[in-house]
């Protein structure tokens, strides 16, 4: 009897061609493969095949009005799907691909509306990961690959987290170890006149503006039933089961004491970066005090807090400067009331 999901270890730098060929066969047969990218693990299926896309939505429990990103091998493949490839797209792709940047452009008719949730635009990205790139090339089709987790839960950064979250809903998991960036891609819409940042990521607004000039920022958080609720814009997203409480820098001790005064038996966890963690918590993690290091370690901490059974997770806020934007965004969503 085969145990599902099957997990195959693969060298992150030089993936075995036979393993990639097997995974590509799963994709071509309409199945789903969890693949590592540099951001988080993606749940990959044929982006041009409505039945595969339907399986992705079902496996994630994701509302079908949230568009998926097409993962392509290079800008040339993205252009085969795009009705227009504006100069802004050319410049951003040249600078940041492969990398954690998704470009939203107008789609050709061959891009199914199931992928785009009915929109005339689609998101495309070239992942900076040898395993993902090899799989896209071997499959011979663009891969829809949202994060390989149930909707609203924390994205997986390891294969074990994928298996725990999705179980038998995925046919095959390619295990290439921990992902590097650790949070989802920056999403920028270049389908209109002026570029619009839809979801902050580790490629910052400033870095985008250095290439294309002023970028407007989509402020506020869409409701789940809003007409254009791109998944990165859903308020409660990226959230652990624990109730997340964001507290000012250095403010952990006071918040722990307050939580315990409210309920002496509550299981409290803490995540800090500027100080050492107070002792006596059900879960405690000190994350790196730099944006790159923090992003890379954040989702592990959220998964581990859940595994430790925390009811309340007190998280020290991160600095206000722009280099922490994407992290602040994910923490705010994790802390958003259900």
Residue selected from 26, 44, 82, 119 as contacting ligand AMP according to rule CB under 6 A: 119
Considering the rule CB under 6 A, would residue 199 count as an interface residue with ligand AMP? yes
- For the segment 129-148, give every residue that binds Mg ion (CB under 5 A): 147
Tell me which residue of 137, 128, 216 sits closest to 180, measured CA to CA.
Answer: 128
Show the binding pattern over residues 14-53: x = contacts ligand AMP (CB under 6 A), - = does not. ----------------------------------------
Least distance in angstroms from the C-beta of 220 to ligand AMP: 14
Among 37, 46, 102, 186, binds ligand AMP (CB under 6 A): 102
Q: Strand 216-217 to strand 243-247: parallel, antiparallel, or no bridges (unpaired)?
A: unpaired
Does residue 46 interact with Mg ion by CB under 5 A?
no
186 binds Mg ion (CB under 5 A): no
Look up residue 250 and give its DSSP letter. Answer: T
User: Do the beta carbons of residue 224 and residue 336 sit within 8 Å?
Assistant: no
Contact of 183 with 299, CB cutoff 8 Å: yes
Distance in Å, CB of 152 to Mg ion, minimum: 9
# residues contacting ligand AMP (CB under 6 A)? 21
Are 98 and 127 a contacting pair, CB within 8 Å?
Answer: yes
In the complex, minimum distance from the CB of residue 308 to ligand AMP, in angstroms, rounded to a whole number: 26
User: In angstroms, rounded to a whole number, what is the distance separating the alpha carbons of residues 92 and 10?
Assistant: 30
Report which of 126, 120, 129, 136 is spatially closest to residue 67, judged by C-alpha positions: 120
Q: Is 116 in the site for Mg ion (CB under 5 A)?
A: no
Nearest to 308 by CA among 246, 240, 238, 237: 240
- Pick out residues in 163-192 that bind ligand AMP (CB under 6 A): 184, 187, 189
Alpha-carbon separation of residue 6 from 1, 9, 26, 326 (angstroms): 11, 10, 12, 33
Q: Which is nearer to ligand AMP, 176 or 233 (CB)?
A: 233
> Contact positions toward Mg ion, by CB under 5 A?
147
Give residues in contact with ligand AMP (CB under 6 A). Answer: 67-69, 102, 104, 116, 119, 121-123, 146-147, 184, 187, 189, 198-199, 230-233
């Amino acid at each position: 009897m085969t145990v599902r999901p099957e997990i195959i270890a693969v060298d992150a730098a030089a993936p075995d061609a036979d393993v990639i060929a097997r995974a590509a066969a799963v994709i071509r047969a309409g199945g789903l493969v969890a693949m590592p990218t540099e951001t988080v693990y993606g749940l990959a299926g044929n982006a041009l095949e409505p039945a595969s896309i339907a399986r992705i939505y079902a496996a994630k429990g994701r509302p079908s009005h949230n568009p998926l990103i097409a993962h392509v091998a290079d800008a040339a493949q993205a252009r085969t799907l795009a009705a227009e490839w504006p100069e802004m797209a050319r410049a951003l792709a040249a600078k940041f691909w492969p990398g954690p940047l998704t470009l939203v452009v107008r789609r050709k008719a061959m891009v199914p509306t199931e992928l785009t949730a009915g929109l005339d635009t689609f998101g495309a990205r070239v992942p900076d990961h040898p395993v993902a790139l090899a799989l896209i090339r071997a499959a011979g089709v663009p891969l829809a690959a949202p994060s390989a987790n149930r909707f609203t839960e924390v994205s997986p950064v390891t294969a074990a987290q994928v298996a725990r979250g999705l179980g038998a809903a995925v046919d095959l998991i390619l295990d290439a170890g921990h992902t590097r960036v650790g949070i989802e891609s920056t999403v920028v819409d270049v389908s209109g006149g002026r570029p619009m940042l839809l979801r902050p990521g580790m490629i910052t607004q400033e870095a985008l503006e250095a290439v294309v000039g002023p970028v407007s920022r989509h402020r506020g958080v869409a409701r789940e039933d809003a007409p254009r609720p791109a998944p990165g814009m859903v308020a409660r997203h990226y959230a652990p089961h624990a109730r997340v409480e964001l507290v000012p820098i250095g403010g952990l001790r006071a918040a722990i004491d307050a939580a315990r005064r409210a309920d002496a038996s509550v299981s409290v966890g803490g995540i800090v970066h500027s100080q050492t963690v107070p002792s006596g918590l059900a879960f405690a993690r000190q994350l790196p005090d730099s944006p790159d290091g923090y992003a890379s370690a954040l989702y592990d901490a959220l998964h581990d807090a859940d595994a430790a059974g925390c009811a309340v997770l007190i998280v020290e806020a991160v600095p206000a400067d722009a280099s922490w934007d994407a992290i602040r965004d994910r923490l705010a969503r994790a802390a958003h009331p259900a």
